[in-house]
Amino acid sequence: MKRHVLGLALASLLLLPACNDKKEDPNLPEMIAAKLDEADAKLREHQDDEAEVGYKWVLENEPDNVRALTGLGRIELLERQNPAGAIDPLEKAIAAGGDDAKAHAALGRAYAGTKKWDEAAEHLGKAWELDENTEQYALEYGVALRESGKLDEAAQMLEEVAQLNPKIKFVYRELGKTQQAAGELDKALRTFMKAQSAWQGDQDSYAGAAEVYEAQGEISKAVDQWSFYIQQDCCSTYSKEVAKPKLAELKEKENALPNDADG
């Protein structure tokens, strides 16, 4: 019996140094902050592997670090073009600190990349709620609302963005697409024309205008708009598989029209 008790006592003593070894380094917070800054810099420089190592080091020492989890999500989303792979770390980031606008925006974009538009709208809307100085969040929120079928809400949001910052890239094009989806063709056409004036390189606004003209029976005007589109985008997959075949189709229709049939 005495040997048994003595053995337990010795075992307890052997465990004591291991417990003492777990004392946190008093410099750890500063080390984590420095490692996060370094990883963020690597990500800005598109050195995603090095950034990933840094973020994972932080998470080994602080598993719920929102900035590190968001960084891992952004690596998957931005650098590796893997929106599905970004969702898990970004969900964890939001669970750890739900009031981070960048985390919500990144998660919304990840869901948009996987065509989960309801979830995209939820998180982009939250990002805009948390940071109303970043109109880009509101623009993307409006697009997600449109893609989820909430056309009235989408139009209202995009109109607000255009008023807040008419220079933000592609806001008129996205508003035009929303009006087009709602069947407001005249309004959509005016908005697409405004988009072309605001951003002459906005080739999709020419495609949108072409589709509206075709829907209105204005074949020659649709031909012109597709031609303008192809001048800016000669060789993309969309140009080869959609724009050029559509232009050829409409030119055939145009040639078949009586001389005065297309005003």
Per the prediction, the chain carries an average pLDDT of 91
Do 249 and 132 fall into the same domain?
A: no
Instruction: State the total domains in the chain.
Output: 2
Q: Which two tokens stand for residue 59?
A: 């998470």
DSSP at 240: I
The answer as to whether 223 is a domain residue is: yes
Tens digit of pLDDT for each residue in 82-132? 999 999 999 999 999 879 999 999 999 999 999 999 999 999 999 999 999
Cβ proximity of 143 and 128 under 8 Å: no
End-to-end CA distance of the chain: 109
Given pLDDT bands bounded at 50, 70 and 90, which one contains residue 260?
low
Q: How much is the pLDDT for 27?
A: 87
C-alpha 159/C-alpha 182 separation (Å) is 15
C-alpha 35/C-alpha 30 separation (Å) is 9
- The yes-or-no verdict on residue 13 having pLDDT over 60 is no
Do 44 and 146 fall into the same domain?
A: yes
DSSP string, 12-65: HHHHHHHHHTTPPPTTHHHHHHHHHHHHHHHHHTT-HHHHHHHHHHHHHH-TT-
Boundary residue ending a domain (167, 191, 222): 167
Do 73 and 188 fall into the same domain?
A: no
Do 106 and 178 fall into the same domain?
A: no
Do 104 and 77 fall into the same domain?
A: yes
Q: What is the pTM of this model?
A: 0.83
Boundary residue ending a domain (140, 167, 194): 167
CATH number of the CATH domain containing 150: 1.25.40.10
The answer as to whether 28 is a domain residue is: no
State what percent of residues in the chain have pLDDT above 90. 84
Boundary residue ending a domain (148, 167, 186): 167
Do 222 and 198 fall into the same domain?
A: yes
CA distances from 167 to 75, 136, 191, 192 (A): 29, 11, 14, 15
- The yes-or-no verdict on residue 149 having pLDDT over 70 is yes
Do 141 and 218 fall into the same domain?
A: no
C-alpha 193/C-alpha 221 separation (Å) is 13
The predicted model gives 50-73 an average pLDDT of 96
- Which comes out higher in pLDDT, residue 28 or 16? 28
The answer as to whether 72 is a domain residue is: yes
Cβ proximity of 61 and 32 under 8 Å: yes
The answer as to whether 63 is a domain residue is: yes
The predicted model gives 149-161 an average pLDDT of 98
Cβ proximity of 112 and 120 under 8 Å: yes
- The yes-or-no verdict on residue 146 having pLDDT over 80 is yes
Residue with tokens 């598993």: 63
Domain span including residue 226: 169-257
Q: How much is the pLDDT for 258?
A: 79
- The yes-or-no verdict on residue 210 having pLDDT over 50 is yes
State what percent of residues in the chain have pLDDT above 70. 89
Do 241 and 191 fall into the same domain?
A: yes
- The yes-or-no verdict on residue 174 having pLDDT over 90 is yes
Tens digit of pLDDT for each residue in 184-208? 999 999 999 999 999 878 999 999 9
Do 88 and 163 fall into the same domain?
A: yes
